[in-house]
Structure 1
């Protein structure tokens, strides 16, 4: 069974693309903002003694292109870069660091929690977050599905070549300084991330706010790729801190600058009111007993906010997902109905439901009828019962994929659109999502960053990869001796004790097996460029205690980076 669905773009989303046309904007005569070459802007503050860069673009190669566009706009096109400010740790803001901070005399400013946030992003959930980001950003979609579409906060641009340089100046609550002859006030301004800082230029009344104003869209309080909880009221307080400046110019790290004190004040007021309205009304209705599903059906922005384009439009964030995030942030996952305490496994629930509905053919027929009637969500839900019973049910996959395409092409929200369309490609076997995972994970963990992380921390992550069911009778120690790298020689161990891998900060005398390997091999293991068995067989690792066969047996207790079965997010 085949379905023909012509590619389309929601007209308002298509029109939104013009917001990210490639252009260098000059603000207050000396701040130059490159919009459209990267998913995040890079801004250059021109001072008497050189340049201060705020955010870097999403890769070293893209940063080079951005600099070539910016230089002709400067009074002194050869002015040296004196400092780089990174407003927070996300890749599109920091992955061009090695280009702008190419020499040791360039200071890099970041919040004092920046490194912790960046390392956490590169840690236990690195690989699933990388995969989910592929879905959210539409990186696997073909040209027919990306032409004329933006990423809601920027152009649909490439991710670039990731890079990293260590910060040299860490900012606490606030820092008043002068760089390149320009007075700067850097202050902690958490919103999208807890490590966010904003920059105020008192002599020209310019605010560079990073992603505290996320760009020309309703803020993304919850991101579908996954992240730690984003506190809405902390975000509101940070916007209020921006409002207190009464600035004449506002430069977000996404989208066009905003000029005029009245216009800046209006944009800031609308953004903070949208967030607080959703938060307050969600909490109010939570206290009336509404569940996450009921909240999503009930809470809507009032017209005066919802219609404020583009800053309150749901190109990136959505009310339906924000209310769920707020519920989970306050109360956790449980909605209050004990039926959810220990539900039937999904496949078993699907089998029983399909049987009650009269069997596969009846359900498939109903899904097809729903699709033909334009009831695409219902068609997809019906087909999902069948794909949970049999992942290879091609007829069910076909109708579900077609329904997803119809839903995706109609979406104003680009994250929803990308998930629908990428999942449709997955259902139709057009993509194998696991293949780009390794390369995309490197976007969140540039090799330059991984080189700075202690090997002990990278090895501790193996505790989350132990196949416990195969290690319930195991009680032994695997030692690691790591040579080289900026941290010098490191020795740690994993005590595999009946299904738990306990991390030890030294190798005990009774360790059954001790591996010796260079720092570069540990990094390659973390980034998925090799695996432990392969490193041992290829000579990139060796045993200095215990035999190679014993080492291989222990290594086989840990999951490889790539899952043992295809990672199909849509078919679960």
Structure 2
């Protein structure tokens, strides 16, 4: 979901937020301007035809009697009834379109989709699809964590009869689609029974590596995107737009035994003929869709869901190719639109009937293609990304379909992403080529406007008029100019909160409300996000050392030169690290002139380089150092520690 090849460090728990030592400031109610805006939105929404209500409920079999899922230590990792409050008319604190979306996304349990095809929905942000084979269950996308996947599999076996897992398919390289694999199958058992585990080509590299370099920044930003620490409620978290929250728990990975490289490839898995479409480069850098031939069911993993998706996730990732995305949808329409009775995805609910399948694929194709083509058209007329985002509106014919709405991605954010894909961040205006950084610009701007008191007066007027975009712009300047200005912080939090209430996108809402919380309570850095052991094991050593190089400060090393060999006997690997005086360069071959050699199992080297555990402690565990120990220590001291977070809504 972008949650783009979400690594374990990016997956945040919405199920078990830390308790506050002191009572937190209470959220405000919806302002008159917000209430009026919600009424305006409600009046412009498509007519309710009952299709989504039917499709989201169709085939329901059962759910868990206990909505709470816990880990081995008894700690809550998921609560399937967290959104039970979403009933009746939307309160003024929630966009009525988003409220409606959550009435369908909140459903939890086992659903029959087609003959011998079921889904478990509402046990995580994603769905698990189960296909009955000749001898066991074919599991497609085993959720995010071991615990939620195990609970889902327990429900399947309880309701449909106990059977072994006979195959696992990972649709793409995001952890919410593979992280629960050890909850559905044991690796030793899989190996003994030769259970196939299928994935798209380059799955392992992409699932392990996409967020390694920028993991710290992405992890902090993901807290805003998914509303970590916000509790579900009418003034709090309202899901992610394509699912509920993101499950806590243990993220796992078992390497694929077979990969799919080309559209049209087929496999017969446990007696079930399957056909695959490769859509890598759309929602994920490694992704496939599955056509389940006997059931006439097309699983469009995350290429098409109940919402416009993100071309660039707010948490940050490489920009996706909107033109290619639309092309894949058109290809799917041509290949599967006329021979599918149901289209299902790894988020949201299915759509039933051949006309619905073809209609959705065609409409979503047009949605992405219109977004792409019109952004490029306006871009080539000289409009900047900000101007395009303001001018580009979704056509009424596309907005008439609920699944084209921006519950996850938005036209505003996505049009900027298309612009960035082609031209980057710079709008060609030299005034924006080398501006002052935010805090200094804020101080100069506030002074130019007549001081903080004048800025607050102007912002208060904007707030009273319901112009929260302008009030937050003014107030953000005041806060960046002086973070200790409590009046500015409080008013900016109120402004963000109202914008969150008005947002149709679940993740826009989360970002505004997360910023409001930080301004009111101050950002509290939590424990460093833990990485999945399975994912770390899958990351090539070269990539890990390249990531370490991004934390090396040559000034702290005094500009010296040094060569270091890192020997990992159990992997038969030796990496040579060259410190050039300005950079750190790692190569997967020994350095001939090494002044230091460190020999240890890779897990100890990771503890040394990432956790920065003391040399003495690791030596007791078996790490050995030969050569210039003081130089080795100086190198380690020159590595920045992993960040526990940083401010976003203030300097």
Indicate whether the TM-score tops 0.5: yes
* 1:206 counterpart residue number: 297
CA displacement at 1:82 relative to structure 2: 1.1
Which of 168, 172, 185 is the matching residue for 1:88?
172
Q: Which moved more, 1:216-225 or 1:288-297?
A: 216-225
* 1:121 counterpart residue number: 210
* 1:251 counterpart residue number: 344
The 3-state SS of whatever aligns with 1:570 is: coil
Larger RCO: 1 or 2 (CA < 8 Å, sep 6+): 2
Matched ranges for 1:414-433 at <5 A = 414-432=506-524
* 1:455 counterpart residue number: 541
> Is 1:322 aligned to 2:414, yes or no?
yes
CA displacement at 1:543 relative to structure 2: 5.2
The answer to whether the 8 A contact 1:83-1:101 is kept is: no
* 1:516 counterpart residue number: 599
- Give the root-mean-square deviation of aligned CA atoms: 2.3
* 1:413 counterpart residue number: 505
Which of 95, 103, 115 is the matching residue for 1:10?
95
Which of 179, 196, 207 is the matching residue for 2:269?
179
Which of 181, 189, 195 is the matching residue for 2:279?
189
In the superposition, relative to structure 1, how do residues 472 and 272 fare at CA in structure 2: closer, same or farther (>3 Å)?
farther
CA displacement at 1:482 relative to structure 2: 2.7
* 2:313 counterpart residue number: 223
* 1:156 counterpart residue number: 245
Matched ranges for 1:295-334 at <5 A = 295-309=388-402, 311-334=403-426
Q: Which runs of 5+ in 1 are unaligned?
A: none
The answer to whether the 8 A contact 2:180-2:251 is kept is: yes
Provide Cα deviations, 1:366-418, integer angstroms capped at 9, x if missing partner: 22333343222222211222222233333322221121111112211111111
CA displacement at 1:129 relative to structure 2: 1.5
* 2:327 counterpart residue number: 237
Distance (Å, rounded) in 2 between the aligned partners of 1:536 and 1:478: 20
Distance (Å, rounded) in 2 between the aligned partners of 1:277 and 1:144: 35
The answer to whether the 8 A contact 1:350-1:388 is kept is: yes
The 3-state SS of whatever aligns with 2:404 is: coil
Which of 574, 577, 583 is the matching residue for 1:500?
583
The 3-state SS of whatever aligns with 2:112 is: strand
Matched ranges for 1:471-510 at <5 A = 471=557, 473-484=559-570, 488-510=571-593
Which of 99, 114, 124 is the matching residue for 1:28?
114
Provide Cα deviations, 1:132-163, integer angstroms capped at 9, x if missing partner: 11211112213546767222111225233211
* 2:7 counterpart residue number: none
CA displacement at 1:267 relative to structure 2: 1.1
> Is 1:131 aligned to 2:220, yes or no?
yes
Aligned length: 554
CA displacement at 1:328 relative to structure 2: 0.9
The answer to whether the 8 A contact 1:140-1:431 is kept is: no
Distance (Å, rounded) in 2 between the aligned partners of 1:150 and 1:457: 33
* 1:399 counterpart residue number: 491
> Is 1:265 aligned to 2:358, yes or no?
yes
The answer to whether the 8 A contact 2:120-2:127 is kept is: yes
CA displacement at 1:509 relative to structure 2: 4.1
* 2:471 counterpart residue number: 379
The answer to whether the 8 A contact 1:38-1:62 is kept is: yes
In the superposition, relative to structure 1, how do residues 73 and 207 fare at CA in structure 2: closer, same or farther (>3 Å)?
farther
The 3-state SS of whatever aligns with 2:125 is: coil
The 3-state SS of whatever aligns with 2:566 is: strand
Matched ranges for 1:23-62 at <5 A = 23-62=109-148
The answer to whether the 8 A contact 2:500-2:508 is kept is: yes
Provide Cα deviations, 1:4-56, integer angstroms capped at 9, x if missing partner: 61373222212211212013221222100111111110011112332211111
| TM-score normalised over the length of structure 1 | 0.91
Distance (Å, rounded) in 1 between the aligned partners of 2:539 and 2:246: 29
The 3-state SS of whatever aligns with 1:506 is: coil
Distance (Å, rounded) in 1 between the aligned partners of 2:590 and 2:521: 47
The answer to whether the 8 A contact 1:518-1:540 is kept is: no
* 1:545 counterpart residue number: 626
Q: Which moved more, 1:293-302 or 1:126-135?
A: 126-135
Matched ranges for 1:137-152 at <5 A = 137-144=226-233, 149-152=238-241
| TM-score normalised over the length of structure 2 | 0.81
In the superposition, relative to structure 1, how do residues 400 and 90 fare at CA in structure 2: closer, same or farther (>3 Å)?
same
* 2:368 counterpart residue number: 275
CA displacement at 1:131 relative to structure 2: 1.8
* 1:79 counterpart residue number: 163
In the superposition, relative to structure 1, how do residues 316 and 4 fare at CA in structure 2: closer, same or farther (>3 Å)?
closer
* 2:181 counterpart residue number: 97
Q: Which moved more, 1:149-158 or 1:312-321?
A: 149-158
Q: Which runs of 5+ in 2 are unaligned?
A: 1-24, 31-92
Distance (Å, rounded) in 1 between the aligned partners of 2:95 and 2:608: 42
Which of 154, 179, 187 is the matching residue for 1:68?
154
In the superposition, relative to structure 1, how do residues 164 and 274 fare at CA in structure 2: closer, same or farther (>3 Å)?
same
In the superposition, relative to structure 1, how do residues 469 and 145 fare at CA in structure 2: closer, same or farther (>3 Å)?
farther
In the superposition, relative to structure 1, how do residues 132 and 447 fare at CA in structure 2: closer, same or farther (>3 Å)?
same
